[in-house]
Chains A and B, each alone.
Chain A
Amino acid sequence: MTTDPRDPLEHELDDLAAELQQERGLEPAAALDERILAAARAEAADSPNRPVAEAWRTPFAAAASVLLCSVLYLTLPESQPIPVSMPPMDLKWPESSEAEPGAPPVAVADQAPARPSVAPPAERRHSAESPMQRPDGVPAQHSMGSAAAQSGTVGAAEAIRKSEPVLRAFSDRATAPGAAAKAPAPVEALRSAPPGVVSATTVEQDLLHALASVLRDPAPNAGAGVSTQEAAPMQEAAPMQEAQPLTPSGPAPRFCPRTAEPTPAPRTLWLLVARGHDASGIGPGVCLPDLRAAEHARLRARWEHLVTEGEVASLLRSRGLAEQYAPARIDAPEAPAN
């Protein structure tokens, strides 16, 4: 909208503004100034050297994204269609009254992390009601859900899932200037957060745990057919193997129980996450919607630069998590999974 300089309303407003110039007495208190500037300094100190979004605009990042997508696409054998009808996170364990003693979980979602590590019979796990039933009738025997139960990383995954609204509030607020003021305030988001989610720091810790679990146990389905090649660096996985039959002994893609997306090899997957990529999962039981939590600007900014495992190990050490997560294994990612 252009302003007509001859508009009498504008003249009136200019006159009023000039009159008000006589009375401009509102001055922020010095303490208030200092508080705000201190907050700005603290955030700046926590800032990466360059904005994350700027980094993602680089040709290298674009090329890397294309390469990663290609790798993921080629990894999936053509003869193994992706299951499409997957329920969200409302997958349940059998009711205790109905289940046989020691009965295996149907899937993993809202239960406590500690689960009996029972290897369920395939015919039971992939019954007609089973979400992991594949369209071609072949049971997906290496479901992420059961792997999660076995590897004990459900707790971290669940924490991330619960934290999603909080992170989304942060993330939404930071996505665009126009949206900044419309998103819920972080305090409100935290108040409405599920119990146990108290701060972004906690969430970050949970994500680190999940990542570290992947690093510690790069082949959680090792006993069920995850190949050593899958655990190799993504650069080496590029030529891709031919389509393999989905047998207990052969290499098999794993699927996210929630999104039905194939899950990349752990290290590939870790790199995707470390680069803030929209991967299909970051580990057993952690899927795309959970991964979106990692889009929280601060985490993403921080993880953007975690491009070597040495840095991850360093970060874990700084958090006192290194011993828990076998730093030797982190430092030697090329070690075969089996």
Chain B
Amino acid sequence: MDEAATPGAPSDEGLMLRYAAGEIAAFETLYRRYRRLLLGYLVRQVRDRERGEELYQEVWARIIRAREAYRETASFRTWLFTIAHNLVKDDYRSQGRRAELVSLDADAVAEPEESPDVAPEGILPEHQRAQQLLAGIARLPFAQRDVMLLRLEAGLGMGEIVAVTGDDPEAVKSRLRYAVQKLRQEVQDDD
């Protein structure tokens, strides 16, 4: 169902404006572009498939309800993931995970948690390395996991991640660097 934006295809922003004007087909196109990216980010960030889907639905609901307020000056992708990012943060707060959330110590170690329903039942050999990476990402502290997923799952660039998280660019870069080092180290250890 997913379709990436191809050259010559209407922009996300144009589609959103068309949807705001009542054109449902524009929304469907937009939805297909982002459904997997968004779900991947949410489920792997909250590490719970069911909760991730709830947040996924809420993100789209907010997009739908706020359609008339959308302005083309804002990147749709940044807007979408900003909403998702804020919902994830709220979710963590509501679950009493504030200590992990506010920890800006890039090298802080998070409690390893189960990552239910993220891994497929049968792991094919060619997917093993990807699985190792995903498991490693799931063990990262919140802030590092967040920027990594925004980069790797959502495909956002540095500037977009800075816009979504509202953090200092150097802090974002630092978290990414720590996270990459940690992931590489884990993969090497597993090998």
Q: Which of B19, B82, B134 contacts A178 (CB 8 A)?
A: B82
Q: How far is the CA of A87 from the CA of B53 in the complex (A)?
A: 48
Q: Which of A12, A37, A39, A174 contacts B68 (CB 8 A)?
A: A174
Q: Given A28-B53, A37-B28, A185-B58, does the pair A174, B69 have CB atoms closer than 8 Å?
A: yes
Q: How many A-B residue pairs have CB under 8 A?
A: 154
Contact A181 B68 (CB under 8 A): no
Q: Which of A20, A45, A180, A181 has the most CB of B within 10 A?
A: A181
Within A7-39, the residues touching B (CB, 8 Å) are 9-10, 12-13, 16-17, 19-29, 32-33, 35-37, 39
A178 to chain B, nearest CB (A): 7
Residues of B within 8 A of A44 (CB): 19, 22-24, 27
Interface size class of A (residues with CB under 8 A): 35 or more
B67-89 vs A: 1/0 string, CB under 8 Å?
A: 11111001000010011111100
Residues of B within 8 A of A21 (CB): 130
Which of A48-56, A67-75, A221-229 forms contacts with chain B? A48-56
Q: Given A9-B173, A41-B24, A181-B83, does the pair A24, B155 have CB atoms closer than 8 Å?
A: no
Residues of A within 8 A of B134 (CB): 20, 23
B30-49 vs A: 1/0 string, CB under 8 Å?
A: 01000110011001100000
Is chain B's interface secondary structure helix, strand, loop, or mixed overall? helix
Residues of B within 8 A of A49 (CB): 21-22
Q: How far is the CA of A170 from the CA of B69 in the complex (A)?
A: 11
Residues of A within 8 A of B61 (CB): 36, 39
Q: Which of B56, B65, B157, B176 contacts A28 (CB 8 A)?
A: B56
Contact A40 B19 (CB under 8 A): yes
B9 close to A (CB within 8 Å): no
In the complex, 10 of the A-B residue pairs with CB atoms within 8 angstroms, ordered by the A residue number, are: A9-B177, A13-B180, A16-B183, A23-B127, A25-B120, A32-B56, A33-B1, A173-B65, A176-B71, A181-B82
